[in-house]
Amino acid sequence: MAQVLEFKLPDLGEGLTEAEIVRWLVQVGDVVAIDQPVVEVETAKAMVEVPCPYGGVVTARFGEEGTELPVGAPLLTVAVGAPSPDSSGEDSEGSGNVLVGYGTSEAPARRRRVRPAAPNAGTNGAASGGTNTGPSAAPNGAPRAGAPHAERVARPVGTAAGHGTEAPPAGEPVREDGPVPVISPLVRRLARENGLDLRELHGSGPDGLILRADVEYALRAAETRRTAQPTAPAPAPAPAQGPIRSSAPAAGIRVPLKGVRGAVADKLSRSRREIPDATCWVDADATELMRARTAMNAAGGPKISLLALLARICTAALARFPELNSTVDMEAREVVQLEQVHLGFAAQTERGLVVPVVRDAHARDAESLTAEFARLTEAARAGSLTPAELTGGTFTLNNYGVFGVDGSTPIINHPEAAMLGVGRIIPKPWVHEGELAVRQVVELALTFDHRVCDGGTAGGFLRYVADCIENPAVLLRTL
């Protein structure tokens, strides 16, 4: 007999608690294979195609395109065939996927039997042949598969779907014990900070999951009830009120801070809030570095990028000044110096600014760095970077010279301790060997966390980088 298995949105990377459905790749009734991508979602870090660990017939989808779902919320249900007699109730094969938090190397623990759809059970699954369960409850009080959870309206206990105070509908009793259906820590924090008991809420998400919108609605409803309560007349006249200001939103185009833009806003704000940063600058004569690159590329073989040479200089400088390849653990009140250099670099895309990470940059030569920069840049433009390729950096190189500007004050990519900014390389008057000459000059800016080092260390790092740019032969001492 066929079984209906529920596939939930997996954990797509560190720190990610939700994702937005961009495009469904399957329809209800489609046959899917194990590990076949079924939906394209956008997280705060990347666009990701999510593969399904089950093979069978799609019986229901949860969420329309543009809907945000928390990690752990149901994505779809799949009807799979009955296990063979010799399988002892276990699946004969599983998913080979390695997305964080899911996989089917073992038989899935949650299983539901296929039930014929009852009349008026109008979900996607019912429209495709009635593979969703009917209105009756599942055994042991479990939520029924494929029920139209998305159509429920969240409300506090004792408040109906509107702003009235009617009792909740039958079948939705006050939750007195058992786990509270909340996944997002942001939702829990919002409720805790406002003194709201989550056990008194009925979630509007799948399986009664409590979403952030549910908490915000409950807080607004509580505020409405407080302001609507009659108050005893004051013995003295109230003081005159000041001018009444309109609460109407300001005119203009409103762009939601979500996806990549929202993640950038949150990270940069946190950096400015938590890191006491300082910036130092220096101009460098890059003429010899440009000549060295020309000579390298004339010798045959893969072309070496300027960014790769700058990255190689950075890793050599970090070996001399390891304080800048570190992070601060405020709970332990320790500075943690890191052995590996995972070099992030800023890449501007149509979806916004992203920072791909080159793993073990300190162990790569110029050719390997060039190839990895090219691969990650192409993936960033295509929107196909994985969360692993966007996290874990220890130092960032920001080449804003490609935008035609000379200088900037970079914002540190939290929780890193420093970022090197590189402006455009342009001809400028420069005193060279005692004479005025036109040379290729670049402005360098180092922003660093003042908790990890003082200005002497930061200045030494920046001066070494400038020396390597002006005289690349300096690097030979470290090769």
Looking at the annotation, which residues are catalytic? 450, 454
DSSP letter, residue 54? -
3-state secondary structure of 474: helix
Check: CB of residue 415 under 8 Å from CB of residue 440: no
* Pairwise CA distance, residues 256 & 259, whole Å: 9
Residue 116: name the closest of 4, 194, 31, 218 by CA.
4
* Pairwise CA distance, residues 254 & 252, whole Å: 6
Q: How far from each other are the two terminal CA atoms of the chain, in whole angstroms?
A: 66
Amino acid at 135: P
Residue 154: name the closest of 182, 130, 176 by CA.
182
Amino acid at 339: E
Going by their DSSP bridges, the two strands 3-8 and 112-113 should be labelled as antiparallel
Q: Bridge-partner residues for 444, per DSSP? A: 282, 422
Burial of 239 (0-12, 13-18, 19+ CB in 10 A): exposed
Check: CB of residue 383 under 8 Å from CB of residue 291: no
> Which tokens is 189 given?
């924090």
3-state secondary structure of 372: helix
Helices within 172-321 (DSSP H only): 185-193, 212-228, 259-274, 287-298, 306-320
* Pairwise CA distance, residues 31 & 27, whole Å: 9
* Pairwise CA distance, residues 352 & 334, whole Å: 33
Burial 51-82 (b: 16+ CB within 10 A, else e): bbbbbbbbbbbbbeeeebbbbbbbbbbbbbee
* Pairwise CA distance, residues 109 & 98, whole Å: 18
